Amino acid sequence: MVTAVETHYHTIASGHAYSTVLEGVMYAKRYGMKGLAVTDHGPAMPGAPHIWHFGNQSAIGEEVDGIRIFRGAEANIMDYDGGLDITEEFLKKLDWVIASYHVGCCPPSSVEDHTRGYLKVLENPYVDALGHSGNDDYVYDYETVVREVKRLGKVMEINNHSPIGRPGSGERCPVIARLCAQYEVPVVISTDAHFAAKIGQADWAFEMLESVGYPKELILNRDLETFERYLAGRPRMQK
């Protein structure tokens, strides 16, 4: 099954991905998709782009060959007090910001630390979604964080790559998804694609959400209009 909007795509600028923006657009068109968020790793990740990369994404334009482009980033969470590797000056230029823990940027700690870290990051008005939070390296108090995501009007990412790339995620993601269903927290389904041919391909994520009874109407990237409506309605857009 294919998403209408890919919300997590890495280009060659990330250093360990293998395709360009244009190649992502090409496959999005091939798969009948409508939108593509370019979310390269923040600069603290080894091989990642310079901070100016994130400030200059307006050079791409809002649409390329019929595909809506969302300027984005996967910011690295750097500590357990809300620190990110992309400053507000650059975050405010972006359409879509995912915040994620990576071992290379922040060593794993305790459930208490991970929980506090996510809660602090969610306070950042420019963070839209928590990325691949089913990661076994960063176990946290799922219910506490999911409830805060709901309170602040944020989003949980259901990362289709997690069961393959992050051992233990296949068991933890359904737990998170059930809580999202319980508290009516919206999600995006992403592929975390590091190669253009993989974008939008999210069979596991769709099937997992269906298996836990997650409401389809809360999947924000099920169509372009729903995703754009969410972005336009965020509190930071009302200032």
How far apart CA 61 and CA 114 sit, in angstroms, is 36
Higher pLDDT, 214 or 166: 214
Can you give the CATH number for the domain in which 52 is found?
3.20.20.140
pLDDT at 239 (0 to 100): 59
Phi first, then psi, for residue 97 (nearest 5°) are: -125, 120
Q: Comparing 17-31, 156-170, 210-224, which segment has the lowest mean pLDDT?
A: 156-170
The pLDDT tens digits for 167-225 are 677 889 999 999 999 999 999 999 999 999 999 999 999 999 999 999 999 999 999 99
Give tens-digit pLDDT for 83-110: 999 999 999 999 999 999 999 999 999 9
Q: State the total domains in the chain.
A: 1
Map tokens 């080894």 to a residue: 46
pLDDT digits (tens, 9 = 90+) for 44-86: 999 999 999 999 999 999 999 999 999 999 999 999 999 999 9
Handedness of CA 221, 203, 158, 200 (dihedral sign): negative
| Burial of 154 per CB tally in 10 Å (0-12, 13-18, 19+) | buried
Over residues 143-156, the mean pLDDT reads 99
User: pLDDT at position 165, please?
Assistant: 64
Which domain range does residue 62 map to? Answer: 5-237
